[in-house]
């Protein structure tokens, strides 16, 4: 269904947070190729068209193969700063007031980079975003679950001295065969470092992984989590406990989790009272930044009231201080007054 320009502008300006975004997943193919030249790195592609032709994914793993391959172009503090600033520029245009952003240090460390160089570059990009746009951003240290658990502990060793610069811990990468319970001690240690807790679960993997993330890792948010619909009792529990679900519609479409955006179970979960949010995951790979995810849902027939509820959920589910949440709620109220005709 086509939507009006006014609806699409309203969704772009809708005050929102982004809670599920991998900074490495914002590496656009043009920027990746520019970085190969700037850093003297080679990639096995024959220019932009050849690279672009690889952006068709059969499943999560086929995406991850390209994602990790392109990450090898990131070499310097400036690369990470530029990547972050480019994302925050998109996010600001899309009405994002606050972004909680995953990064995958184990992969960069395996590429020979120092953890502190990566963190310095990302923090520099965040400071540039704050100066240019007033946008608020914070980092989620993401554990690559298909690397050995000892590698996650080594990551925490590297992260500990500057743990105060991190917001949360996350768990990503290939899901099936890597259940959350493997990371019980890692999460216990991260909690002891004062980090918030989130984990990817129920993206391709079973709803049992969502249960484990809640019961064993004690997460406050579930990333993706769409497979929760296989377990109605778990849906009820997550709704009652106010656990945020960071759903990523274009990601689920492009990774063949669903065959149509309309089949991402957002309406069903909202009706059950689940705190559903909408996010872009890896926008350079999946065909759109966050506002495009909102408009895709509108095109699939999700009413504007539901999309406004989702933006409100994104404010409630974020890990910002209460006064910042209150300011975002007030902005959302002003937006609702301005677009009251679309919400009727």
**HSE-up of residue 329 (Cα within 13 Å, Cβ side):** 11
Instruction: Pick what 313 binds: ligand ADE, Zn ion, none; C-beta below 5 to 8 Å, kind-dependent.
Output: none
Nearest-approach distance from CB 113 to ligand ADE, in angstroms = 18
Nearest-approach distance from CB 198 to Zn ion, in angstroms = 10
Instruction: Quote the CA–CA distance of 52 and 138 in Å, as a whole number.
Output: 30
Please name the residue that has the structure tokens 């300006």: 13
Which C-beta is closer to ligand ADE: that of 79 or that of 282?
282
Q: By rule CB under 6 A, what count of residues binds ligand ADE?
A: 11
Which residues are bridge partners to 247 per DSSP? 278
Residue nearest to ligand ADE (CB): 172
Encoding tokens for residue 188? 């216990």
Nearest-approach distance from CB 225 to Zn ion, in angstroms = 11
Instruction: Pick what 94 binds: ligand ADE, Zn ion, none; C-beta below 5 to 8 Å, kind-dependent.
Output: none
Residue nearest to Zn ion (CB): 281
Residue 203 as a binder of ligand ADE (CB under 6 A): the answer is yes
Residue 282 as a binder of ligand ADE (CB under 6 A): the answer is yes
Whole-Å CA distances, 270 to 84, 274, 278, 305, 316: 31, 5, 12, 11, 14
Helix H or strand E encompassing 283: helix 283-286
Residue 175 as a binder of Zn ion (CB under 5 A): the answer is no
Encoding tokens for residue 281? 């995951």
**The one among 17, 72, 251, 295 contacting ligand ADE by CB under 6 A:** 251
Instruction: Quote the CA–CA distance of 344 and 199 in Å, as a whole number.
Output: 36
Nearest-approach distance from CB 246 to Zn ion, in angstroms = 8
Which C-beta is closer to Zn ion: that of 18 or that of 281?
281
Please name the residue that has the structure tokens 């969704």: 11
Encoding tokens for residue 82? 């530029």
């Amino acid at each position: 269904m086509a939507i009006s320009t006014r609806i699409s502008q309203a969704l772009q300006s809708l005050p929102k947070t982004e809670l599920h975004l991998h900074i490495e997943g914002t590496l656009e193919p043009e920027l990746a190729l520019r970085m190969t030249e700037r850093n003297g790195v080679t990639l096995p592609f024959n220019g932009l068209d050849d690279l672009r032709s690889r952006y068709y994914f059969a499943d999560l793993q086929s995406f991850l193969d390209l994602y990790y391959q392109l990450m090898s172009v990131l070499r310097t503090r400036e690369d990470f700063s530029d990547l972050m600033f480019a994302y925050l520029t998109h996010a600001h245009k899309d009405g994002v007031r606050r972004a909680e952003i995953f990064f995958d240090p184990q992969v960069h460390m395996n590429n020979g980079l120092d953890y502190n160089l990566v963190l310095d570059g990302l923090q520099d990009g965040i400071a540039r975003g704050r100066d240019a746009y007033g946008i608020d951003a914070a980092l989620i240290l993401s554990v690559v679950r298909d690397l050995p658990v000892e590698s996650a502990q080594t990551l925490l060793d590297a992260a500990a001295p500057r743990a105060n610069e991190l917001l949360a811990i996350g768990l990503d990468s290939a899901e099936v065969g890597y259940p959350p319970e493997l990371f019980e001690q890692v999460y216990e240690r991260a909690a002891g470092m004062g980090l918030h807790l989130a984990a990817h679960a129920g993206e391709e993997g079973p709803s049992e992984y969502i249960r484990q993330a809640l019961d064993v890792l004690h997460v406050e948010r579930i990333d993706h989590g769409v497979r929760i619909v296989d377990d109605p009792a778990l849906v009820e529990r997550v709704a009652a406990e106010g656990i945020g679900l960071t759903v990523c519609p274009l990601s689920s479409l492009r990774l063949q989790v669903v065959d149509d955006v309309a089949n991402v179970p957002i309406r069903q979960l909202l009706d059950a009272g689940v705190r559903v949010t909408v996010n872009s995951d890896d926008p350079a790979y999946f065909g759109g930044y966050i506002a495009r995810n909102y408009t895709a849902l509108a095109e699939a027939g999700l009413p504007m009231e539901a999309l406004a509820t989702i933006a409100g959920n994104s404010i409630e589910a974020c890990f910002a201080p209460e006064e910042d949440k209150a300011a975002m709620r007030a902005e959302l109220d002003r937006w609702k007054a301005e677009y009251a005709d679309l919400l009727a």
